[in-house]
């Protein structure tokens, strides 16, 4: 919000989490610049053709080990957001990767203001399930993914109106060529195999 407020109309803000590293040589920077000539924003979505192996520990079984946002949204938030946008089809879409986005300042861009407003006025949508919500969740539910849930719903609502392009993420699935790479790990939840993978990645990519 603050960065966009300081921009001129037509300027673009590139956002990436602190757990990301940038690859200046990637062709994706040029691709995104071309996209911004005709679109107001770029978001990234987890891919159906990729098996994200680290997700397995959060899933009840392999039938829910996929990016469909239905599996990563607590029932209370699913119902609230469905009622809010008047459409439940967003629950069948793949969850948005929240680690990066590109937004061009435009006077008729709605998503950012609504994203901020709902976050401030309805934090119950983003936080983990509370005792009042019960514990009898459907088998299709794995875990609540907070900001990714809200983003996925709002992008579904505003994709056409705000002229948003949603691209397959490469930050986790194609790190050799990706412009933005996700390398942050929650060390307290890492297995020794994950730690080895993390340190090998950093060793093999000294330029990042």
Query: Which one, of 89, 51, 64, 54, lies nearest residue 139 by Cα?
Result: 64
Cβ(156)–Cβ(4) under 8 Å? no
Report residue 190's pLDDT band, with 50, 70 and 90 as the boundaries.
Answer: low
Average pLDDT over residues 3-8: 85
| Residue 83: CB atoms within 10 Å | 10
Average pLDDT over residues 64-71: 96
Q: Is the pLDDT of residue 203 over 80?
A: no
Task: Please report, for residues 3, 158, 190, 202, the alpha-carbon distance to residue 102 in angstroms, rounded to integers and kept in the order given.
Answer: 12, 15, 30, 25
Q: Is the pLDDT of residue 187 over 50?
A: no
Report residue 186's pLDDT band, with 50, 70 and 90 as the boundaries.
Answer: very low
Q: Is the pLDDT of residue 14 over 80?
A: yes
Work out the mean pLDDT of the chain and round it to a whole number: 89
Spatial distance between the Cα atoms of 176 and 184, rounded to a whole number of angstroms: 16
**How confident is the model at residue 111, as a pLDDT?**
96
Q: What is the pLDDT of residues 101-128, one digit of tens each?
A: 999 998 889 999 999 999 999 999 999 9
Query: Which one, of 53, 50, 69, lies nearest residue 174 by Cα?
Result: 50
pTM of the model: 0.86
Element (H, E) at 114: helix 111-121
**How confident is the model at residue 65, as a pLDDT?**
94
Report residue 192's pLDDT band, with 50, 70 and 90 as the boundaries.
Answer: low
**How confident is the model at residue 208, as a pLDDT?**
45
């Amino acid at each position: 919000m603050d960065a966009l407020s300081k921009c001129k109309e037509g300027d673009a803000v590139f956002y990436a989490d602190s757990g990301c590293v940038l690859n200046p040589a990637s062709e994706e920077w040029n691709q995104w610049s071309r996209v911004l000539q005709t679109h107001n924003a770029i978001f990234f979505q987890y891919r159906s053709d990729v098996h994200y192996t680290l997700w397995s520990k959060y899933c009840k079984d392999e039938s829910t080990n996929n990016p469909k946002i239905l599996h990563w949204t607590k029932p209370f938030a699913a119902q609230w957001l469905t009622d809010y946008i008047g459409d439940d089809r967003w629950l069948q879409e793949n969850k948005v990767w929240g680690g990066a986005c590109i937004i061009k300042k435009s006077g008729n861009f709605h998503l950012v203001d609504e994203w901020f407003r709902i976050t401030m006025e309805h934090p119950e949508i983003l936080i983990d399930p509370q005792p009042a919500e019960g514990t009898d969740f459907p088998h299709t539910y794995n875990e609540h993914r907070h900001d990714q849930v809200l983003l996925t719903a709002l992008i579904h609502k505003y994709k056409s109106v705000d002229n948003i392009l949603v691209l397959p993420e490469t930050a986790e699935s194609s790190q050799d060529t990706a412009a933005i790479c996700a390398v942050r790990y929650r060390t307290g939840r890492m297995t020794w195999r994950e730690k080895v993978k993390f340190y090998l990645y950093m060793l093999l990519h000294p330029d990042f």
